[in-house]
Structures are given as C-alpha cells and as structure tokens.
Homo-oligomer: A and B are copies of this chain.
Amino acid sequence: MSATRPTMEDVAARAGVSRALVSIVFRGVAGASPATRERVLAAAADLGYQPDRRASRLGRARTRMIGVVFHLGHAFHGDLVDSLYVAAAESGYELVLSGVTARRPEEEAVRALLGECCEAVVLLGSALPARALAELAARLPTVSVLRDVRADGVDVVRTDDTAGLRAAVAHLHGLGHRRVMHADGGRAPGAAQRRRGYRDAVRRLGLPEPPLLPGGLTEEDGARAADTLLALPPGERPTAVTAFNDRCALGLLDAVRRAGLEVPHMLSVVGFDDIRAASYAHIGLTTIRQDADALGRLAVGRAAARLDEGEPPGRPLVVPPALVVRSTTAPP
C-alpha cells in the first residue's frame, strides 16, 4: 500500500548508482560488475521494487506481447492456453489474455487486445466473419487456431479434423460396425471438416450413409443428438456414433445410457478433442486426441516467425490427430 510503488530511481539512489545501471541489472545484460549487481539487487529487495513492465515495454522498441482471445468455458481452450504460455515463454514472448464470455463478445475481446499493443494475436476457435479476420490481419499478424478460415493474411493452425474423423470411422469399421452415424457440430469451428471426414470414410468403406444427427458443442447438444438417435426405428439405429467433440459425446453417452442402451455393447461412441474428462477412469471415452501442445507451439511459432523473421503469412499448419482407444468402443 504505502504511498506509491518504488521506481528505478529509488533503487538507484539507494544503491548509489545511476538509473541506467539499475536498468542494466534488471534486464540482465552485461555491463555491471558482480559487486554492483548485488548491491542493486539488495537495494531493490529492501524497497520491494518490482520493475514496471508497462513502462519497460514502452521504452523498448518491441513489446514482445502476443494477445490471445479464448473462450472461458471451453475446456479445450484451457489446454491450449496452457501450451501457449509454455511456448511463448520459450520464444521470449508474453501472453495477454482476453476472454470471451456470455456477456463479452469476441469483437470486444479483440478490441481490448488492440489497445494493449500486442504485436500479434492468436484467436482460439474464432467465430468472427472472415472479413473481420482479414481486417485484423491487415493490422497485425493474426493466427486462427482450430478454425480453418480462408482470409487474407490470416495464419491458420489446426488439427486435421477430416483425418480425425476418418480414423474414428475406420476404427469402428475395423471393429465390425456397419451402421455408423455422426453427431454433427453444425457451424462450430472444425465441424465442416469433421463432417467431411465422416462422409469420406463412410463412402470409401462402402458403409451406408445415414443422415446426420444434429449435435453441437455442448453436452446438451449431445443429449439432443441422443434423443434423435433413440427416436429412430430399431432397424435404422446405428451401432456406433462419432460425435463432433468430447462434450457432445459425453452428453450423448449419458442420455443413451439412461435410455437403457449399454455402451459399448449396444452402441459404440467416439469423441473428439480428448479433454481431461474423457480420460477419467469411469468415463474412458474413446476419442480423437487433438494435440494441444503442438497446436500451441505452432501458433506461437507462426506469430514469432512473422514478427522476428518477417515471414509472410503461410499456408495452414495442420496437426495430425491421434485415435485414443478407451472403453466406449467395442465390436457391435
């Protein structure tokens, strides 16, 4: 509390050196003798001095800050942010988070970031129109993670959703399933690609192609998909379902089980993402794992490449997903 926080000036005065020397010590660059360095550090500790990063960034030519727009409430975004923190630290960048919530739209989150002078932005699962993204990309390097978008100047880092769903269907086919349905993600980022992967695989394997189950991002959407499924005449019921994502799969699982269908014996279910909950022992959801670490690293990598090496926006970076077999799939 006290009056105001101590500044570099105060530390300098106490250590009996110039302000510049204190700066040298705190930036950890060469130019101070070990003895002085220690004296400065001691003075700083006495005063409880903490460098003001805002001022430091102002004085510096570069801010080395990357803005991140993420959705509070999307569990997978949490995993991504974790990996972004690590990757950013490795490349000497700092993250500034801007959350999207029920009452804080994405536009607002982006606007806030622009005012903070970050050098690049990483958008997780952005729902902004391509035009808005292109506009943003015209101002500063922009990386869209999870969402594949063709917008001028926008870098894309995403999972190979199509391959993921193909792998899911192939896995089910390998188990002997013939009638596989897909709980669709609608307009969610990645949904179109997963839909395509599902259709590709079903056709390629010569399986019947039943209509899509209307699903979505949340457990509730999954439960709705289950209702649709359960309403089907027995002959048309699938023996396996691929879901848009894990949350959807979890909701679906819950609902079909309560309707008396045994999983995996009467119905196999495959999710997408591999969120934490999927691996819980009592759930054991077979799923397509998105590699959050790779996605985060590539996103920061793209931003850094454009900032540090002056690279132009590149083609989409696509991370292969991995099938994780647990206990919600079995032969029909």
Contacts and interface: CB of A to CB of B under 8 A. Distances in A.
Q: Which of A55, A85, A112 has the most CB of B within 10 A?
A: A85
A283 interface: yes
A258 B255 contact: no
Nearest to A222: B282
Interface string A212-254: 0000001110010010000000000000000000000001001
Contacts of A116: 53-54
Contact of A220 (B101, B112, B223, B282): B282
A77 interface: yes
B280 A251 contact: yes
Contact of A1 (B57, B94, B138, B251): B138
A86 interface: yes
Interface stretch (A28-36, A44-52, A157-165): A44-52
Nearest to A223: B282
B140 A1 contact: yes
A296 to B, nearest CB: 11
Interface in A276-307: 276-277, 280-283
Given A54-B116, A117-B53, A223 B73 contact: no
A134 to B, nearest CB: 12
Contact of A72 (B53, B77, B102, B138): B77
A104 B85 contact: yes
A82 interface: yes
Nearest to A61: B4
A12 interface: no
5 contacts: A54-B58, A75-B75, A78-B99, A254-B282, A255-B282
Given A54-B117, A85-B101, 6 more contacts: A5-B117, A50-B115, A52-B115, A54-B54, A78-B99, A85-B104
